[in-house]
Structures are given as C-alpha cells and as structure tokens.
Amino acid sequence: MALAEMACRYRADEIPPEDLPMIAAEALAAGLDTPMLCELAGLPRNADAHDICDAFDQALSESGIGLPDPGLARRHALRRLAARLVEGEVAPADVATDDWWETEVETAEERSFVRLIPQCACCLEYTLGLDQQTWAAELRIAALALTTSAPVGPGC
C-alpha cells in the first residue's frame, strides 16, 4: 500500500507504532527513498514508541506526505470498515468492537451506517431493538450505500 494510505491508517489508530519500521522497509522496497525512511526501517519493533512515531512523522515529511486530520482519517477508516463488511471480510457483529459511535460523521451515508453500530456487541438487541438478522441486513445496506457514495476529503 502507498505510504500516504499507511499514514492515514496510522492516524486512525489502525496501525500500531511497532509496525511502522516494517512499513518503512516496504516503502523502501517499493522505491521510495529518504534518509529518515531508511533510519525508520532499521529500527526494531521494540524500539521506543515515541522514537518510532517521531521517525515516521519525519519520514513522511521528507516524502512530502502530511498526516491527515484525525477526524478525516477516522472517516476513511469507517469507509474501509464498510467495504470490508460488504466484501464479507468482517461479520456484522464484528463492527461493534470499536468506538465507531463516537466518530464525527458528516454525510448522510456515514450517519446511517454509524447509527446502526451499537456501542458493544452485547448491547445489540438492547440498543437497536431489532432482531439480529434484520440488523445485519440493514447494516449491510448502509455499508453499501457508504462505499458507493462520493469520497470525503483527501483520499487515504
């Protein structure tokens, strides 16, 4: 994947700091070459997380890539989740494993999808008042609508 997408996924807390050295190594193997990217690729996974994050920020800067706004990165992560649901890569019950309900959404499609995500999997019936089959069908419909809607902000 492109380094800009990795920056977006990192900013949305989908990638932990200890994975950043390997991402840097993969970017080098793909042909991107900056001094800090080389240094980051040489760091061990168990290096200080602060040092790894600083090196990643500097490597992005050297590459002309900025970290996206956290809210925008989270909205892109929401779209990736919807796409994975549509593709069958995640089960409907698995979408309740994060705090998606706290995501600041801006479009009608995002709102429709997020409003169907309970705060936790155990609260599904309590919070939604639907049977699980109906909820899963409505969630998939909302996910499809989100994935086919116009993209938001700069892509990542």
pLDDT digits (tens, 9 = 90+) for 31-44: 999 999 999 999 99
How far apart, in whole angstroms, are the C-alpha atoms of residue 140 and residue 150? Answer: 18
Residue 93: alpha-carbon gap to chain centroid:
18
Per-residue pLDDT of the chain (156 residues; tens, 9 = 90+): 588 899 999 999 999 999 999 999 999 999 999 999 999 999 999 999 999 999 999 999 999 998 889 999 999 999 999 999 999 999 888 888 778 878 888 999 999 999 988 876 666 666 665 677 888 899 999 999 999 998 876 666
Closest CA to 67 of 132, 23, 4, 112: 4
Largest CA distance in the chain: 55
pTM here is 0.79
Residue type, 17: P
How far apart, in whole angstroms, are the C-alpha atoms of residue 116 and residue 95? Answer: 10
Judge whether 58 and 66 are in contact, CB under 8 Å.
no
pLDDT digits (tens, 9 = 90+) for 116-142: 888 766 666 666 656 778 888 999 999
Ranges of each domain in the chain:
3-62, 70-148
